[in-house]
Homo-oligomer: A and B are copies of this chain.
Amino acid sequence: MQLSNTSKYTIRILAYMVNHKDKPLISAKELSENLNIPYKFLTKIMTELVSVGFIESIRGREGGYKFLKKASEITVSDILTLFNDSIKDEACILGIDFCDAKHKCALHDKWIKSKVQLQKMFRESTIESIAGEGSKI
């Protein structure tokens, strides 16, 4: 019961970029070293973030990445969805098909409460809002 490494890395990468938005571009090298994420794995993630339009890349010497979409418009929920890591609304916590209000699994009611709160939290956490504030990345 935890996030995938890819999601964790992505949240930290984007938060780092917000915290350094004074720089016009941030390189993969800088991200990898400062966030302690394997370089090759990081670049793979960055390419994906570019392809979905969250960030933009400038190739070649002095190149790097910058936001294409506003950090205030990218939520943690968006990131989890991108990497198929989100809590799907229809998915039963016990893996039962067609678990709903009429035909509940054993944990249904208790889980719903926690699930709703979690989803809300992920949706309301924009990258802009969670960065800064002297938090560790």
Contacts and interface: CB of A to CB of B under 8 A. Distances in A.
Interface stretch (A41-49, A50-58, A59-67, A100-108): A100-108
Contacts of A91: 2
- The count of identical subunits is 2
A35 to B, nearest CB: 10
A1 B106 contact: no
A15 B94 CA distance: 11
B95 A5 contact: yes
Nearest to A7: B1
Interface residues of A, number: 39
Given A99-B136, A114-B118, A114-B121, A106 B93 contact: no
B94 A12 contact: yes
A2 B93 contact: yes
Contacts of A85: 1
A1 B89 CA distance: 12
Interface string A96-125: 100100011111101101100110010001
Interface of A: 1-3, 5, 8, 11-12, 15, 76, 80, 85-87, 91, 93-96, 99, 103-108, 110-111, 113-114, 117-118, 121, 125, 130-131, 133, 135-137
